[in-house]
Amino acid sequence: MKASELRERTVDELKVQLQELSKVQFNQRMQLGAGQLAQVHLVGEVRRNIARIKTIITEKQKSGS
């Protein structure tokens, strides 16, 4: 997920995507704890995507867009 793609979306769309990624992160954490997660590298990727979305939401709210 690229930041340029995220900047084209509205704040509402970003918030919906943030909720979805939070659910994915929770499920991955549960699977990781149970030893059932096969693709461990996706945990960090989801975490970075969440941070990216939060950053862009903050940028858009500060600029008033």
Is residue 63 predicted with pLDDT exceeding 80?
Answer: yes
Structural domain boundaries of the chain? Answer: 3-60
- The predicted-structure confidence for 18-47, as pLDDT tens digits, reads as follows 999 999 999 999 999 999 999 999 999 999
The reported pLDDT for the residue numbered 1 is 81
The reported pLDDT for the residue numbered 42 is 95
Cα gap 49→40, rounded to integer Å: 15
Could you tell me how far CA 59 lies from the centroid of its own chain?
A: 15
Is residue 65 predicted with pLDDT exceeding 70?
Answer: no
Q: How many percent of the chain have pLDDT more than 70?
A: 98
* Residue range 3-60 in CATH 1.10.287: yes
pTM over 0.85? The answer is yes
